[in-house]
Amino acid sequence: MSTASSVDKSAVGLGERQFHIGIAPGEVSTVALLPGDPFRVPLVAEFLTDVKEVAHNREHKTMTGMYKGRMITATSTGMGCPSTAIAVEELIRVGVTSFIRVGSSAGLQAGVKPGDLLVSEGALRNDGTTAAYAHHGFPAVPDLRITLELAEAARELTAGTTASVHSGINASDDAFYAETPEWIAELNQLGVLNVEMESAALYVVARLRGVRAGMICSTSSNLFDGTSLYDGVDTALKDGWMRSIEAALEVAVRLEL
């Protein structure tokens, strides 16, 4: 069958305003913080000056501003690997070269409590999106320097508080409500630190496109010890969000991302 008229998605839309995120080249920084929820983009903006809303299309809200003399972009990815991959692909097309996900994640090991900070050292790819990009054995790993700096900044920001910092391997799942007690126990036994829904796509796309990525999350709950999102942990979770955002901003400045 001839494919002469088939659309090559790797070639269309280059140099133009992007279809899903609504951003054109020149409108954003070289570094982007990536919360999942569009309503958390303004939390990033609380740390910035000269704030501008660039676009808000679908689940992708984008704002820019200045932090310690450096331009920062914040774009929401939405939930899950499919929308994250789209956001990252299109942000790369408009000039972003470094990404730091600042999200929520459930702990899977004893001692991880709501509000603690979780620094990812790699993701178990339990998603469908990255299978379309790479061989199942291809690792989903963040940029080493960004990861080390995130852990250091997190330790500085939590010093003297009740929050702790944990680093390790996380899992990226597709189906939030399909995470059974058996699956949670299996991840715990593997030593997986936490589970979320976006980092596998972020890491794989970043590696394939030659850009940098990392992740620092606030603990929302602990699925292994029975702490649920529905147990009223909002205050601790938000405190963790704000610390994770500040840590990411500090790393963006320190590494001149």
Sort 6 into a burial class: Cβ within 10 Å, 0-12 / 13-18 / 19+.
Answer: exposed
pLDDT over 80 at 4, yes or no? no
Nearest of 50, 22, 45 to residue 35 by alpha carbon: 45
Split at pLDDT 50, 70, 90, the class of 232 is: low
SS3 168: strand
Nearest to residue 88, comparing CAs of 186, 184, 238, 199? 199
Instruction: Confirm if 161 and 113 have CB atoms less than 8 A apart.
Output: no
Residue 227 has a pLDDT of 77
The model's pTM is: 0.96
Q: Predicted confidence band at 231 (pLDDT cuts at 50, 70, 90)?
A: low
How much is the average pLDDT of 62-84?
Answer: 98
254: helix, coil or strand?
A: helix
Look at residues 94, 92, 75 and name the one whose alpha carbon lies nearest to residue 32. Answer: 75
Domain 31-254 has CATH 3.40.50.1580: yes
pLDDT digits (tens, 9 = 90+) for 77-108: 999 999 999 999 999 999 999 999 999 999 99
Measured CA to CA, the distance from residue 91 to residue 31 in angstroms comes to 10
CA distances from 151 to 75, 79, 126, 181, 194 (A): 22, 24, 24, 29, 15
Q: What is the pLDDT of residues 175-201, one digit of tens each?
A: 999 999 999 999 999 999 999 999 999
What does the pLDDT average to over 138-161? 98
Nearest to 81 by CA among 167, 146, 175, 8: 175
**Residue 124 clears pLDDT 90, i.e. is over it:** yes
The pLDDT value recorded for residue 229 is 64
Q: Please, are residues 220 and 235 in contact by the beta-carbon 8 Å criterion? A: no
- 223: number of Cβ within 10 Å: 22
Rounded to an integer, the average pLDDT of 162-167 is 97
Residue 87 has a CB neighbour count (10 Å cut-off) of 31
Sketch the domain layout of the chain as residue ranges. 31-254
Decide if pLDDT at 47 tops 70: yes
Residue 149, classed as helix, strand or coil, is helix
Interstrand relation of 60-67 and 49-57 (parallel, antiparallel or unpaired): antiparallel
> Mean pLDDT of all residues in the chain?
95
Per-residue pLDDT tens over the stretch 22-44: 999 999 999 999 999 999 999 99
Residue 3 has pLDDT above 70, yes or no: no
Region of poorest pLDDT, from 59-68, 142-151, 225-234: 225-234
Q: Which residue has the tokens 């499919």?
A: 82
